[in-house]
Structure 1
Amino acid sequence: MTGHVATVARKEFDDAGRSKLLWSLIGLLVGLVVVGYVGIWYTVDDVTAAEALSFLGTPLQVIIPIAALIAGYMAVVGERRSGSIKLLLGLPPNRTDVVFGKLVGRMGVVGLAIALAFLVSLVLGAVLFGAVPFVDWLGFGAVSLLFGTTFVGLAVGVSAAVSTRGKSMAIVVGFYMVFVALWELLTAGPYYLLYDEGPPVEAETWYLVLDQFNPIFAYTNLASSLVEGSLYPFQFQYGLQSMEAYGMTPAERYPGDAPFYLQDWFGIVVLLVWLVVPVAIGYVRFRRTDL
């Protein structure tokens, strides 16, 4: 990796600043925060700033992945589609610089949008509710930034690995549908086949480990440990597991003291895995492909 990563990243961020992408993301997230805070303040009595902050967890877990996937899925394959990749590689940046420069640049775009949204939430919390839960706010914001950059990494990795826009879009949409709509079928379904019943509250350890590797679950588990109240993952439910188990963390479902890999903080590892592995696969494929 050379020093041209920063050059590519800066150009990527500057291009986004001149396009509708960055401003659309900022407008979407900031607008969501404003509408949410004003709506809570106007309709719900006796709500604290900490409670208002936790309410944002549900819409953010839906909007941030979609925004990040949109921001990243064309990062590399878009250059290949237009033919500009050959011109770009004819300049000092090499393939490594292109992949990681695009990754950093798109992370900057999504990160700025999330940071501004949380800055607005800080101001609105002080104005509307008279207090700012700064520690909660800072932790929740940091976890949300990691959550957003995880999905950017997933999208950029896919974009680097494939050769057409259609394939990139199909794969990132497929991942999102797996996380939101198919996860219970893919995890609780095999459990049912093996044990002739759905996962109970105290399910087998292998199932609890597998179930927590949904990045949306990892985000809500982490956020729930940082803000007041519990955040429930946005997921289609098929009734394959105990109703009591929905909304419980792996640590809560484990009998006795949970091992480190089932504790809430392990969600950071899960998010980093979903960030690093797709980028690594996409990078290797892009390095080997014939342009």
Structure 2
Amino acid sequence: MSVPTVARKDFEDAVRSQMLWSMTGLLVGLIVLIYGAVRYFEGSAPADELAAILALPMQVIVPLAALIVGYMAIVGERRSGSIKILLSLPPTREDVVAGKLLGRAGVVATAVLAAFAVALVLGLVLFGEVAVGELFGLAVATLLLGFAFVGIAVGFSAAVASRGRAMAGVVGTYLVFLGFWDVFVGGIYRFATGAFPPGIIPMDGRIEPWALALQRLNPMEAYGVVASGLMDQQVFPLTLQFPIGVNVVGNEPLEDVVIGEVPFYLSEWFSAVVLLAWFVVPVALGYLRFRNADLG
């Protein structure tokens, strides 16, 4: 029972430290601002389009908030020395890492669900209708995105011994996902095939399916795929686009984009698996470092 105990204590600490309330207030305030602006300037909007509007700001706020929530989860305990007291009790190092992951994920989940509950109410109050299916689909995709970045942050927090290194790790990772991932994949494509990936606006060629799979390993890209599938409308990932990158976006069927048959790993459900992998794998790697770390 040590993991649930650590998770519950961590969640309660987040409540006492205002971490939960700050993130919830930020997301709720964002939704109130967006819905209020649409009501004021437009008067009304189709319910499904109103839900889709939330996808972009959620991609901006939720990953950053999740990284802030998670990056001090373990390294903060090491800096204060409380990790020694915690490990002198029944929890093992594995319990601490798993409990911290679940506790911080609980903070993100509570804030995201509260924000979408407010969106549901505001949609009814201000516009008289709500696209429940689209709003629910976006909420699920946003939860998966938040969990992915919590996993990344807690993984760094477990792997390093200082706040500065943890912060550098999460900030650097976020910047890679935001601005350099497609360039990285484009470079691999150039090395493997002798040419840069074709663009599709307009489509000027087909792309190797493995390159598109590499692109979707970026959690921002995976979020776009999952949210688009669950909402039944296009959600564009928040990434910078470069001419040499893999810029496969839009509504083209994959059969018209990739070379050969569409493999299973380009399915929408596999992108959900990618997001869950980002929740688990970085933490597992961080634990391997933390397991034998000298805690002083």
Please state which band the TM-score falls in when normalised by the shorter chain.
over 0.9
Q: Deviations over 1:54-104 (max 9, x none)?
A: 010001011110000000000001111111111111122221121111111
Q: Normalising by the residue count of structure 2, what TM-score does the alignment of the two structures yield?
A: 0.91
Per mean C-alpha deviation after superposition, the further-off stretch among 50-59 and 218-227 is 218-227
Q: 2:218, 2:39 → 1: CA distance? A: 32
Say yes or no: does 1:251 pair with 2:254.
yes
* SS state at 2:231 partner: coil
* Alpha carbons 2:212, 2:246 under 8 Å: kept: no
Q: Deviations over 1:182-223 (max 9, x none)?
A: 112111123234445321142112211111111001001111
* Alpha carbons 2:47, 2:131 under 8 Å: kept: yes
Per mean C-alpha deviation after superposition, the further-off stretch among 65-74 and 245-254 is 245-254
Q: 1:57, 1:138 → 2: CA distance? A: 12
* Alpha carbons 1:212, 1:218 under 8 Å: kept: yes
Q: 2:246, 2:157 → 1: CA distance? A: 38
Q: 1:260, 1:229 → 2: CA distance? A: 21
Say yes or no: does 1:224 pair with 2:238.
no
State how many pairs are aligned: 288
1:26 alignment partner AA = T
Q: 2:223, 2:98 → 1: CA distance? A: 24
* 1:1-291 correspondence to structure 2 within 5 Å: 3-44=1-42, 47-200=45-198, 201=200, 202-227=206-231, 229-241=233-245, 245-247=248-250, 251=254, 253-255=257-259, 258-291=262-295
Q: 2:7, 2:265 → 1: CA distance? A: 34
* Alpha carbons 1:212, 1:250 under 8 Å: kept: no
- Return 5+ residue gaps in structure 2 as ranges: 201-205
* Alpha carbons 1:54, 1:228 under 8 Å: kept: no
Q: 2:278, 2:155 → 1: CA distance? A: 10
* Alpha carbons 2:155, 2:284 under 8 Å: kept: yes
- Change in Cα spacing, 1:229 to 1:132, as seen in structure 2 (3 Å) is same
Q: Deviations over 1:27-70 (max 9, x none)?
A: 11111111111112222355211110001000101111000000
Aligned-residue CA RMSD (Å): 1.9
* Alpha carbons 1:157, 1:282 under 8 Å: kept: yes
- Change in Cα spacing, 1:241 to 1:178, as seen in structure 2 (3 Å) is closer
Per mean C-alpha deviation after superposition, the further-off stretch among 135-144 and 3-12 is 135-144
Q: Normalising by the residue count of structure 1, what TM-score does the alignment of the two structures yield?
A: 0.93
Q: 1:170, 1:108 → 2: CA distance? A: 24
Q: 1:231, 1:67 → 2: CA distance? A: 20
* Alpha carbons 1:179, 1:235 under 8 Å: kept: yes
* SS state at 1:184 partner: helix
Q: 1:228, 1:42 → 2: CA distance? A: 27
- Change in Cα spacing, 1:128 to 1:77, as seen in structure 2 (3 Å) is same
- Change in Cα spacing, 1:138 to 1:174, as seen in structure 2 (3 Å) is same
2:87 alignment partner AA = L
* Alpha carbons 2:211, 2:246 under 8 Å: kept: no
Q: 2:47, 2:224 → 1: CA distance? A: 19
2:109 alignment partner AA = G
- Change in Cα spacing, 1:186 to 1:248, as seen in structure 2 (3 Å) is farther
- Return 5+ residue gaps in structure 1 as ranges: none
